[in-house]
Structure 1
Amino acid sequence: MTLNSEFLFSMKAPLLPPLDGGASSAGHLLPILVAEGGTFEGPKLSGRIVAGGDWFRMRNDGSGVLDVRLAIQTADGAFIHLTYGGRLVVPPDLIPQVMDFANAQKVDPAKYYFRSLITFETGHPDYVWLNDVVAVGVGKVGHGGVSYDVHLIK
């Protein structure tokens, strides 16, 4: 069986600076809240990010574990809940630059791995099809936050 995908949307999420939750046995806790002004745009849905955050954890091996919850609102008023996990794997010498959201665009995204697996939940009749699919986000950091190209996996 062949894996096929379809472009769903591009998303830009401005981020507040990480909160330092300290080191735990599972890694360093760095919750990151989404700031106002986030957007997503694509052929089947577009709108704004209403609220959300990443309960990000930097593991002891230097790779980042994503644990994101977002509430988004489409241009026609539907609310959709996104949940996603993933990985941000950055060479150790580039971690300080990549975690500096305002300036991280200076680091070539080809030098790090930033992927997410996204699921959706909504009760809006025009978008219930999202409840039964998964998507993959290919991310990059910079310009004050993160951006993703999100692809529906068929």
Structure 2
Amino acid sequence: MRRLPGLPAHKALRYGVSFDRKLFDRYGLFDEQMATGEDTEFLERLPKAVVPLWEPAVLTVHRNETRLIRVIVDQYLRGYRYGTYLKSVGHRKPLRIFKGVFRDRRNVGKFAKEGLAEEDRRFAMLSLPIVWAALFAKSLGAAVGVTHGDRTGTRP
């Protein structure tokens, strides 16, 4: 939701970014030990002057799950990997992690209204119960990942 094309630059996250090879030569490669969050960790190493610009006209298409149970499982696994990442950087409180991830449900509607065109916004608003269920699964996965996960994120 923080990559919707209509969002202003200060609210948009820069995931799925393409990097010039020169940046890797200068600032190092992605951390291959990380199962998730490697792009975030790399972006944090970059000086502000070379952080990617937000260009809403550049769109990334993802092949997401289309069946409800698969959406729920996918989000749980994404949450689990996120939890293992949080564990690797020192976070250890599963309830706090669960609440932090699930808190995003408050922003879903706001970002949809701000970041989507009218025809897409209506569909997104009708989909909110599914989004909330998926976010609950992601939150649960994050809490389990921070508790039981290993750094590779391979043990759900």
The TM-score bracket by the shorter chain reads under 0.3
Structure ranking higher on relative contact order (CA contacts 8 Å, 6+ apart): 2
More strand by percentage: 1
> Please, what TM-score do these two structures have when normalized by structure 1?
0.24
Between Structure 1 and Structure 2, whose CA radius of gyration is higher?
Answer: 2
More helix by percentage: 2
